[in-house]
Structure 1
Amino acid sequence: MKVLAAMSGGVDSAVAAARAAEAGHDVTGVHLALARNPQTYRTGARGCCTLEDSRDARRAADVIGIPFYVWDMADEFHEDVVDDFVAEYAAGRTPNPCLRCNEKIKFAAVLDRAMALGFDAVVTGHHARLGADGLLRRSVDLAKDQSYVLAVLREDQLRHAVFPLGDSTKEQVRAEAAVRGLAVADKPDSHDICFIADGDTRGFLDRQLGARPGPIVDAATGEVLGEHGGAHGFTVGQRRGLDLRRPAADGRPRYVLSITPVTNTVTVGPAEALDVGRVHGARPIWHGEPTPVECAVQLRAHGETFPATVRRTDDGLTAELHRPARGIAAGQAIVAYRADEAGDIVLGSATITATDRAVAAA
């Protein structure tokens, strides 16, 4: 099979490309240049999309012995990921840029270009598995599982995807990289948002959207407890950074319950007010059986799962949680899983649009 290996410059994508070559596939490596101005992106090993990453990817391809190219996708990345990130925060939602990058860049723009060039599939270093049935499953390394950010992929995209690392732990991948002589064997994982050079998300959004002061309001009394510099600096469930001028009457900590961009209002309340019993999602991708279905749902990256009853609706998904979840933000994804003997299967996903309080759901 003729495959294109997306090589980020990290250890996972390098080992994935090496395994694909060792399996007898005709492999070509490609690194995605995503920064319009590389100097504004991270340098060093803390993030991804850096100049160092490009050089690391090239060296890994040389060791593996495969052709290597760099594709400039900065404009697509800026429009589909960076601009989307800013627009979502401006609308009072909390996006996941890695999820959007997988959806719009790695498995849309890249896959489309690969197919046009005659490749059969795209290989990536994601920690996830594809079963013989074509269904996406969790990685055996649950701590590194990335099925949540891949659950936006359609069936036709999954048919042209290869995830060679799903049966290995991260420790095994690093050990294999060392044996193969790949210099990235001990390279740290990336954790931060790659296009925010200093790691200051709020500062980045301030520069993009500007200061826009507004009230911080108590949900129960309607009393103005303080002022913020921009509603985009907050997310549901946040406690730090509220800087309330007046404490609540009961003296208890307050958390962000909701963000209303139209009135530029941040509403706060006690922790238990964050508990939700029903989650609504739009833009569904569904691979599973007819609904309603009893399953588990994950509501944030690397978050816990909750038993739920999931139903398809005319325009999305609704999950009735069997126990409350706390601090669920619109803009994240709801991903439904079903457990079987081969591991958790991704049934489908949707983008969270709204939640209902646990008491109301009960």
Structure 2
Amino acid sequence: MALDDTLPLNSLGFAKSPADTRVVVAMSGGVDSSVVAAMLAEEGYDVVGVTLQLYDHGAALAKKGACCAGQDIHDARRVAEAMGFPHYVLDYENMFREAVIDEFADAYLAGATPVPCIRCNERVKFKDLLATARDLDADCMATGHYIQRKVGPNGPELHSAADPNRDQSYFLFSTTPEQLEYLRFPLGHLASKAETRALAAKYGLSVADKPDSQDICFVPNGNYASVIEKLRPGAADPGQIVDMDGNVLGEHRGVIHYTIGQRRGLGIGGLVDPLYVVKLDPETRHVVVGPKEALATRTVPVREINWLGDGPFEGQPERQVLVRIRSTRPPRPAVIRPLSATEAEVELMDPEEGVSPGQACVFYEDGTSRILGGGWIWRGAA
């Protein structure tokens, strides 16, 4: 149905009644996306629930705290039945493996520290699932992410969630302007997760008390190394632990067992000062260790930049922003210097420790909640 300029905008921003507005809700089986679906159904929208099966649900049936498999698909289906809207399960296992899991394994083998949840949003949920939503003639797609979409003078903008403890902007920086036109995030304005659970209880949802997902969905108990060994046999070949001058200090059981900044579990005792992993060299199978100050990084090379600010990224003057270089760390003051349409040098005002290739560097507008985009850290930072 065409938009009617005489009608006020509904809660999803369309000038037509909720009943005439179709919205596909990406349902993981968790409480957040379930509340979004129930909320929109109660408001009278034409809701279609879609759940992606991303990996072997048979192996995941007993695994709690994941998403997109086994019990979670069952939970999403139960919510749809209770609220009276259709629900579909799409088998994306092959796509997920090719677009997310394989790169995760290869990045780890190359000595990087990947963030597969970002790639999943970028390459599966906000690409292929969004295309499916369009095929279903939906006006938009809604998710349970804690982030805000606000309409600014130049179109939709991405903003941090109202609750900083739930904010998922680090994992969604690669959302493109075109995707942002189509996406909606109905939970981003809530002050706390308690509000979400209260809504779940209000709607009588069976998932109201379901625990939040913790681990990467395809990595049981956070054991990355065991997953990579299965995907890439021989990946855990042992090697040498060396200092920054190349002196051998000990043996290790495989580069994939170590991360930049790690101190514990190195197995090299008898030293006066603690040593930290400062570099991983997969080609020589060296784990390079050094003092804590060797971890300090001021200049961070960033590529594959997705720019959400105003105007094209290339040609932008250098600007002061806030950047987040790990999901668990708060944004810090920095200067961005664009080098091309997709590359930049980021200078941190205060050195950060443990900056690792493979992590994301997300840009925030200083003084506001707006996300200006971000990119991927590569090479050795300095």
Instruction: State the secondary structure of the residue aligned to 2:326.
Output: coil
Does 1:20 pair with 2:47? no
State the Cα distance separating 1:355 from its structure 2 match: 4.7
SS at match of 2:376: strand
Q: Does the 8 A contact of 1:276 with 1:355 survive in 2?
A: no
Alignment partner of 1:155 out of 171, 174, 177: 177
> Aligned AA for 2:94?
D
Please say if 1:46 is aligned against 2:73: no
2:26 counterpart residue number: 6
Q: Tell me the number of residue pairs that the alignment of Structure 1 and Structure 2 aligns.
A: 350
Following the alignment from structure 1 to structure 2, what is the Cα–Cα distance between the partners of residues 305 and 240?
26
Which residue identity lines up with residue 246 of structure 2 in the other structure? G
Secondary structure of the residue aligned to 2:126 is: helix
Which residue number corresponds to residue 313 of structure 2?
A: none
The alpha carbon displacement at 1:247 in A equals: 4.1
What CA deviation, in whole Å up to 9, does each residue of 1:154-182 have, x standing for no partner? 10011111100001121100011101101
Counterpart amino acid of residue 313 in structure 1: L
Q: Residue 30 in 1 paired to residue 68 in 2? A: no
What is residue 302 of structure 2 aligned with on the other side? 281
Runs of 5+ in structure 2 lacking a partner? 1-20, 311-315
Paired letter, 1:14: S
Structure-2 residue corresponding to 1:124: 143
- Judged with a 3 Å threshold, the aligned counterparts in structure 2 of structure 1 residues 76 and 356 are, in CA distance, closer, same or farther, namely closer
The one-character-per-residue Cα deviations of 1:124-182 (angstroms, maximum 9, x if unpaired) are: 10000000121111001110100111101110011111100001121100011101101
* 1:240 matched to 2:280: no
Contact 2:107 2:114 in 1 (8 A): yes
Check the 8 A contact 1:41/1:49 in 2, yes or no. no
Q: 1:173 aligns with which of 188, 196, 216?
A: 196
Counterparts of 1:201-280 in structure 2, within 5 Å, are 201-209=224-232, 210=234, 211-219=236-244, 221-244=245-268, 247-248=270-271, 251-280=272-301
Q: Which amino acid aligns with 1:335?
A: V
Kindly report structure 1 stretches of 4+ aligned residues shifted beyond 4 Å: none
**1:131 counterpart SS class:** strand
Candidates 186, 191, 199, aligned match of 1:164? 186
Q: What is the CA-CA distance between 1:42 and the residue it aligns to?
A: 5.9
**3-state SS in 1 of match to 2:261:** coil
User: What is the root-mean-square deviation of aligned Cα atoms in Å?
Assistant: 1.6
Q: Give 2:330's aligned residue.
A: 304
| Residues 11-20 or 136-145, more deviating | 11-20
- Taking structure 1 as reference, are residues 301 and 158 closer, same or farther at Cα in structure 2, changes over 3 Å only? same
Which has the higher mean CA deviation after the structures are superposed, 119-128 or 17-26? 17-26
- After TM superposition, the structure 1 stretch with the greater mean CA deviation from structure 2, 235-244 or 169-178, is 235-244
Equivalent in the alignment of 2:378 = 353
CA deviation after TM superposition for structure 1 residue 197, in Å: 3.0
Distance change (3 Å), C-alpha of 1:215 and 1:270: same
With normalisation by structure 2, the TM-score equals: 0.88
Deviations 1:5-49 (A, max 9, x none): 0111100001111222334432100111111x3233362432222
Q: Which amino acid aligns with 2:300?
A: V
Q: Which residue is 1:97 aligned to? A: 116
- Tell me if the contact between 2:241 and 2:289 (Cα under 8 Å) persists in the aligned partners: yes
- After TM superposition, the score normalised by the length of structure 1 is 0.93
- After TM superposition, the structure 1 stretch with the greater mean CA deviation from structure 2, 152-161 or 16-25, is 16-25
CA shift, 1:241, in A, is: 2.1
Write the deviation string for residues 277-296 of structure 1: whole angstroms up to 9, x where unpaired: 01111101012243311110
Measure, in 2, the Cα distance between the counterparts of 1:227 and 1:319: 35
Structure 1: which 5+ residue stretches go unaligned?
358-362
* Aligned mates of 1:25, 1:231 — CA distance in 2: 51
Q: CA deviation at 1:105?
A: 0.9
DSSP 3-state at the match of 1:272: helix
SS at match of 2:378: strand
Equivalent-residue separation in structure 2 for 1:198 and 1:237 (angstroms): 21
SS at match of 2:347: strand
Q: Does structure 2 retain, via aligned residues, the 8 Å contact 1:296–1:307?
A: yes
From the superposition, tell whether residues 140 and 74 of structure 1 become closer, same or farther in structure 2 (CA, over 3 Å).
Answer: same
Is the 2:358–2:376 contact (alpha carbons within 8 Å) kept by the matching residues of 1?
A: yes
Q: Could you tell me which amino acid in structure 2 is paired with residue 298 of structure 1?
A: R
Q: CA deviation at 1:201?
A: 1.4
Fraction of identical pairs, as percent: 41
Paired with 1:328 and 1:42, the residues of 2 have a C-alpha distance of 36
CA distance, structure 2, for counterparts of residue 296 and residue 199 of structure 1 = 29
Distance 1:42 1:305, change over 3 A: farther
2:10 is aligned to none
Distance in 2, matches of 1:199 and 1:180, equals: 33
CA distance in 2, matches of 1:105, 1:94: 20
